[in-house]
């Protein structure tokens, strides 16, 4: 088995992809309020800055910056996943359990990428914001309600028509071009 090594950098900024076990599920958007509560509860215990986020039916992408001197993003994701799962159980969503009695909601791992510089940060944030259009969930990124793109538009960082409106003509938007 290949050993995966995480890049723990105190105060670092990271891009994450976190996925449900069932790739046909839509629990994340059906219960987006519970997911937001999970982020808030975790941030209250272990602070972080959520630079960008998009919630899709069965996965999410996020760009997160940790406080100076703190490199523990794994525990933050464990807490977010756990809080969301407990919230679903509390509202009566039936969840199956694995052979260890653990709820089989989330994929065990997540994918992370260490942000290397400002250009890399911009590329990752663009990828996060364009993802609903890439997956054809919205004709334009601004038409997807579960995205930090709306915060960027409100603050005047990005225009309201960012990423286009109408037909999607660039499926690899935000992908690395080296």
| Residue 105 lies inside a defined structural domain of this protein | yes
| Residue 93 lies inside a defined structural domain of this protein | yes
| Residue 174 lies inside a defined structural domain of this protein | no
pLDDT of residue 6: 78
6-20, 55-69, 133-147, 157-171: lowest mean pLDDT where? 157-171
Q: For the whole model, what pTM was predicted?
A: 0.88
Cα separation, 73 vs 115, whole angstroms: 14
Q: How far apart are the first and last CA of the chain?
A: 29
Report CA 13 to chain centroid distance, whole Å.
13
pLDDT of residue 146: 98
Give me the number of domains the chain comprises.
1
Residues 76-101, mean pLDDT to the nearest whole number: 94
Q: Report whether pLDDT(169) > 90.
A: no
| Residue 3 lies inside a defined structural domain of this protein | no
| Residue 170 lies inside a defined structural domain of this protein | no
Q: Report whether pLDDT(175) > 80.
A: no
Per the structure, the complete domain to which residue 138 belongs is given by: 13-154
Task: For residue 165, name the pLDDT band (cuts at 50, 70, 90).
Answer: low
| Residue 137 lies inside a defined structural domain of this protein | yes
Strands (E), 20-155: 49-55, 59-65, 111-114
Tell me, what CATH number does 85's domain have?
3.30.70.1290
For residues 130 and 142, is the Cβ–Cβ distance under 8 A? Answer: no
| Residue 71 lies inside a defined structural domain of this protein | yes
| Residue 124 lies inside a defined structural domain of this protein | yes
pLDDT of residue 122: 97
Residues 163-174, mean pLDDT to the nearest whole number: 53
CA distances from 121 to 22, 98, 140 (A): 29, 37, 21
- Encode pLDDT of 24-62 as tens digits: 999 999 999 999 999 999 999 999 999 999 999 999 999
């Amino acid at each position: 088995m290949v050993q995966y090594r995480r890049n723990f950098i105190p105060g670092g900024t990271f891009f994450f992809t976190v996925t449900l076990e069932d790739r046909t599920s839509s629990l994340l958007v059906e219960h987006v309020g519970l997911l937001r509560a999970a982020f808030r509860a975790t941030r209250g215990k272990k602070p972080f800055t959520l630079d960008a986020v998009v919630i899709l039916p069965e996965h999410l992408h996020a760009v997160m910056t940790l406080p100076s001197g703190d490199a523990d993003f794994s525990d933050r994701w464990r807490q977010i996943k756990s809080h969301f799962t407990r919230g679903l159980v509390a509202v009566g969503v039936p969840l199956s359990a694995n052979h260890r009695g653990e709820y089989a909601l989330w994929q065990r791992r997540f994918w992370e990428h260490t942000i290397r510089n400002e250009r890399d940060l911009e590329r990752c944030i663009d990828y996060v914001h364009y993802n609903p259009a890439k997956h054809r969930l919205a004709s334009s990124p601004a038409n997807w309600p579960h995205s930090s793109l709306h915060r960027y538009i409100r603050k005047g960082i990005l225009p309201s028509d960012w990423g286009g409106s109408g037909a999607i003509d660039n499926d690899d938007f935000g992908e690395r071009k080296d």
